[in-house]
Amino acid sequence: MRVVPINWLELETAFERNSPDAESFLDLRTGDVVTVTQGALDYQETRARVQSAPEGFLRIEPAASREQYKWMERFVVHVTDETLRERLVIAIDGKGAFRRFKDVLLNYPAERERWFAFRGDLLHWQIQKWMEKEALEASNPAPWTPPPEPKEDETVLERPQTTTGEGPGEILRRQAKELIDAIPAVELPAAIAFLDFLRERGVGELGRIKTIPVKRTAA
């Protein structure tokens, strides 16, 4: 077991950063996180620093984008506000899901805080398991409460079915683009106001979002 100091804030940031252009390493002597980013002015210098002392740096394995997307799905399943749940299902459909998900929650501060707590526990659990795998022990305690082991969820998110095979979010964004492309520039302000109205009204026309129990059988 290697006992090292940990810069917990930097380590948490590295675990949630999932970019193909960046790699993060834990400096086993100082506990700081060194990030090597392609295209950065210090890329060559930082890369050389890590490569010159491979025994002193440990590559950090961030939570995969696919895994973080599942966290959003698990959160949405248990949102009790039906209108918000529908909006979140639309938000996480298609490219740009993470940004849209956060944008929707900006108007729901209580649910936003609940999401941060939910996501934080899952992220901290990932950090804990990674440290166990790498035989690391921190010489300084983490600034958060030890996370509980995630429970296997027995519900899944059921999305509205569409006749075209497109996701509901894709349909709405395509229709909005077609609408904007078809109207004269002088009428754009009115069109934008109308789209804002539809956004506030919700998306019930696409069908209700349900959660359904899933029976799990032993392997």
- Convert the pLDDT of each residue in 163-210 to its tens digit: 555 555 555 555 566 566 666 777 777 777 776 776 665 544 444 444
Residues 203 and 124: beta-carbon distance below 8 Å: no
pTM, full prediction: 0.71
* pLDDT of the residue at 194: 72
Separation of alpha carbons 67 and 73, rounded Å: 10
* pLDDT of the residue at 207: 45
**Which residues 6+ apart lie within 8 Å of 70 measured at CB?**
none
Q: Which is nearest to 19 in space by CA: 68, 89, 86, 55?
A: 68
Count Cβ atoms within 10 A of the Cβ of residue 99 and give its class: 0-12 exposed, 13-18 middle, 19 or more buried: exposed
Backbone phi, psi, residue 38, to 5°: -60, 135
* pLDDT of the residue at 201: 58
Amino acid at position 61, single letter: E
Q: Which is nearest to 119 in space by CA: 69, 169, 58, 191?
A: 69
Residues 92 and 169: beta-carbon distance below 8 Å: yes
Separation of alpha carbons 141 and 126, rounded Å: 16
Residues of the chain with pLDDT under 70: 153-183, 195, 198-219
